[in-house]
Amino acid sequence: MHERLPPGLREAVDEFSRHLAVVEGRSEHTVRAYTGDVVSLLDHAAYEGRSSVAELDITLLRGWLAARMGSGAARTSQARRAASVRAFTGWAHRTGRTPTDVGAQLATPRAHRNLPTVLRADQAATLVTASPRSYRSATAESRNNAGCPSDAERADGAGSGRGGIGGGSVLEVRDRAVLELLYATGIRVSELCNLDRSDVDHARQVVRVFGKGAKERAVPFGHPARRALDDWLRRGRPELVARGSRDALFLGVKGGRLQPTVVRRIVAGAARAAGLPHTRPHDLRHSAATHLLDGGADLRAVQELLGHSSLASTQIYTHVSTERLRTAFNQAHPRA
């Protein structure tokens, strides 16, 4: 789709993509999503006979969004597409490519927000303390029965007994630290994988995190996560460190920086071992936020810890807490 764009449109989207990555410091995921949306819009524009960004208008933008909705796109995807287009048209206007910002008039489709999946505190504790040996063995057995393991599992040595170090393998020690830190801090899986050793302040029990838009924040962690991290850094990490990854906090079996795909497998495997429903790293983030609010934490403090730019993003967890309270009331109160 990108290759068949007229030269003027293709050059514009390429420059916009570079602007997002270099000037605004957006994450790789955001750059890819926004660029894909804009390429789709410009392909629609080319089909309608437009060959330059200056020929875009609000009617064409709304027509493109309507066509996506007609193809069955979710409202959340439509909201992101509208945001992508507004970012593009705003950039095009600022750089002199269009006389006006035509996307400023584009409304965002209201997305229905489902409440996030949240574990109970006892479930989260069971998950992060699940035996890595048990779920690694189960993962290896299931993959062997189904055929060859995935590339991510081969790269990470799924089910292998790599590097025995007394109380467990190197990967078991690492997995314990990964699980403890995810739940202790509520950080995103991408943020966890991007951590360097220098980002951990062991004395203050704080980790420095670079979130969306390269925004930096400090997030505290508790004693169980500190012990798991200390164990990993002292007994596990030295067994895997490679010349090219001396800075990364968490490593894969070949010594490279740990990948999000592997972290998702670690969390899902721990949930299976604990007898819990399928769980993702982001579910641990949801759980950490909800448990903080349940424990009396201030909403603004939780917003800062999670790295939300808007308080509205954090307020969803107050709805979770209220819904949990309502469920408990309906189950227990004789006059419910």
Active site residue 29: no
How many Cβ atoms from other residues are within 10 Å of residue 11's Cβ? Answer: 14
Catalytic residue among 26, 81, 272, 285: 285
Catalytic residue among 2, 208, 280, 308: 308
Q: What is the pLDDT along the chain (336 residues), one digit of tens a residue?
A: 899 999 999 999 999 999 999 998 888 888 999 999 999 999 999 999 999 999 999 999 999 988 887 665 666 788 889 999 999 999 999 999 999 999 998 877 665 566 678 888 999 999 998 876 666 554 543 443 333 344 444 446 544 445 554 445 899 999 999 999 999 999 999 999 999 999 999 999 999 998 876 788 999 999 999 999 999 999 999 999 876 678 999 999 989 999 999 999 999 999 999 999 999 999 999 999 889 888 888 888 888 888 887 777 777 777 666 666 666 657 766 765
Measured between alpha carbons, how far is 15 from 49 in angstroms, rounded to an integer? 22
Measured between alpha carbons, how far is 204 from 248 in angstroms, rounded to an integer? 20
pLDDT at 326: 65
Cβ(128)–Cβ(142) under 8 Å?
A: no
Active site residue 317: yes
Tally of CA atoms within 13 A in the half-sphere of 176 that contains its CB: 25
Q: Starting from the edge strand earliest in sequence, which strands make up the sheet with 206-210, in order?
A: 200-201, 206-210, 216-220
Active site residue 308: yes
For strands 206-210 and 216-220, give the pairing.
Answer: antiparallel
**Could you tell me which residues are beta bridge partners of residue 220?**
206
Cβ(103)–Cβ(89) under 8 Å?
A: yes
For the chain, the first-to-last Cα distance in angstroms comes to: 57
**Looking up tokens 């067994």, which residue turns up?**
239
Closest by Cα among 272, 226, 264 to 130: 272
**Looking up tokens 């057995």, which residue turns up?**
141
How many Cβ atoms from other residues are within 10 Å of residue 325's Cβ? Answer: 11
How many Cβ atoms from other residues are within 10 Å of residue 285's Cβ? Answer: 22
Catalytic residue among 212, 217, 257, 324: 212
* Max Cα-Cα span within the chain: 70
Active site residue 188: yes
Catalytic residue among 188, 272, 286, 291: 188
Phi-psi region of 317 (alpha: psi -120 to 50; beta: other; left: phi over 0): alpha
pLDDT at 234: 94
Tens digit of each residue's pLDDT (9 = 90 or more) over 193-221: 999 999 999 999 999 998 876 788 999 99
Burial 202-226 (b: 16+ CB within 10 A, else e): eeebbbebbbbeeeebebebeebbb
Active site residue 19: no
Segment holding 297, helix H or strand E: none
User: Angle at CA 209, nearest 5°, toward 320 and 194?
Assistant: 105
Structure pTM? 0.65
pLDDT at 140: 47
Measured between alpha carbons, how far is 248 from 24 in angstroms, rounded to an integer? 24
Q: Which domains does the chain have, with CATH numbers?
A: 7-105 (1.10.150.130), 121-330 (1.10.443.10)
Q: What is the DSSP string of 198-243?
A: GGEETTTTEEEEE-GGG-EEEEE--HHHHHHHHHIIIIIHHHH--G
Measured between alpha carbons, how far is 173 from 211 in angstroms, rounded to an integer? 26
pLDDT at 87: 95
pLDDT at 115: 65
Closest by Cα among 84, 102, 91, 5 to 52: 5
Tens digit of each residue's pLDDT (9 = 90 or more) over 231-246: 999 999 999 987 667 8
Closest by Cα among 235, 231, 238, 129 to 184: 129
Count of residues for the chain? Answer: 336
Catalytic residue among 62, 154, 282, 324: 282
pLDDT at 71: 63
